[in-house]
Amino acid sequence: MSGLLQNRRGWRATPALLKHARKIIEVCGGEPEEVDRWTDYHGMVARYEITGEPLPTPPVASTLPTEPASDIALATADPTGDRPRRPRLRWAMSIATWAVVFGFLSGQLVYKLDLQLWQFLITAAFALLLPMALLTIGTFLMAFAGPRLDTVSRRHQERSFRANVPDTWPMYAVYLLVLGVIWSAVPLFDVSWLSIKIKFVITGFVVIALIRMVQLEVRKVSKVDTAWPPMITPDTLTFRRAATRLRQRLTTDQLVDDTLRRQAESVLDALSEVRAELTGRSRLTWRQWLTQGPTKDPLPPVGVGILASVVIFDGAGLAIRPWHDATAKSVLLALAVLVVATVLGAVALTVSFHTQRRHDRRLAEELREREEELRPLVFPNKAEDTATSTES
């Protein structure tokens, strides 16, 4: 309680603080009036240095019951559960990784050309314009296909993993087939100085790592299907499965005991917190979005990484070129490469930014609809009262 209701001079009893304080009081077996007494006490402490009033005494703690008020496990919301622990570091590392990858690939592409170093750098930067253009086109396609793909994923995420296996196993089989073809094309098998045993061991390690990844993913999905009450995050899989399972439980059990009622209310509160988080994300500014990094869109870090490679190659080529024999055409071509790459990158980022905001707004609206659907089941008495007052 004291951690929530702090004694700072600028302290204010916000609705969020009071909501958490009431939950603490309720779990500890106290009365709701204790929140008001503690709020008044911390308010007087916050004004103590300003008004010079006598330092108040804390409210007398109420006698708690001999047994815990409730051992019921309640659902919790993790508004940042779908993001990495250090999103800024992850965002920067992704950009750096893609910059190195595409820089290496473009360098390999023009390596065999007989060019001076500055010409090699500018040519490598020019070679990166093609993947930049393809990335921009792909960003437009994803912006158009995103809502339709989300509709398909929604239908599968509302069902359990076991119920989806009969429909989705061909897709996983295709994944394994593609991975096998890719691995067979790896230059590892063409290396003559490695023995067959070493190649077999490396292949075994790759297969074991792949199986381990599949196992962890299946365990994660199974936990979402079996854990109750659930952990709810802005990840669509968690809140869609939680809402579906809650509706199934309420339809079957209809709040026959206090435990299910409390858990149902906690799930509804967690869905509301996640909806508020998604609403806030849909209102992020450009600076906030670029600073925090996109949630799960892989295209923005790829685009920024390619753009970084173009800027480095092109800038280095212009810096080290001999200017005594420079022509206006050669300089303008190098600058044109930089300008085109910047425009393509800006367009791709702009489309990704607005696509992400529309996606978050769409998810927030979906959660609002689910709350409206579940609220009459969680609070049937209030729904009956509302219907009665409407009829009268």
Query: Which residues have a Cβ under 8 Å from the Cβ of 24 and sit 6 or more positions away?
Result: 1, 4
CA dist., res. 335 & res. 255, Å (int): 69
* Chain segment 113-124, per-residue pLDDT in tens: 777 888 888 889
Highest mean pLDDT among 152-156, 171-175, 231-235: 231-235
Mean pLDDT score, 264-277:
89
Dihedrals φ, ψ of 76, to 5°? Answer: -125, 155
Greater confidence, 177 or 32?
177
pLDDT at residue 141 in the model: 92
Mean pLDDT score, 292-311:
86
54-58, 285-289, 368-372: which has the minimum mean pLDDT? 54-58
pTM (two decimals)? 0.69
Q: Which residues pair with 232 in a beta bridge?
A: 77
Is the pLDDT reported for residue 302 higher than 70? yes
Mean pLDDT across the chain, nearest whole number? Answer: 79
pLDDT at residue 348 in the model: 92
pLDDT at residue 22 in the model: 66
Q: How confident is the model at residue 376 (pLDDT cuts 50, 70, 90)?
A: confident
Indicate the length of the chain as a whole number. 392
Is the pLDDT reported for residue 379 higher than 90? no
pLDDT at residue 65 in the model: 47
* Chain segment 57-104, per-residue pLDDT in tens: 666 655 544 444 456 778 888 888 888 778 888 888 999 999 999 999
DSSP state of 62: P
- Distance in Å from the first CA to the final CA of the chain: 44
Q: How confident is the model at residue 27 (pLDDT cuts 50, 70, 90)?
A: low
62-66, 185-189, 198-202, 267-271: which has the minimum mean pLDDT? 62-66
Mean pLDDT score, 155-184:
80
Q: Which helix (H) or strand (E) holds 353?
A: helix 328-378
Tell me the percentage of the chain whose pLDDT exceeds 90: 17
Greater confidence, 55 or 369?
369
CA dist., res. 277 & res. 239, Å (int): 13
- ω before 229 within 30° of 0 (cis)? yes
- Structural domain spans, the chain: 1-71, 76-158+228-391
pLDDT at residue 248 in the model: 84
CA dist., res. 89 & res. 381, Å (int): 49
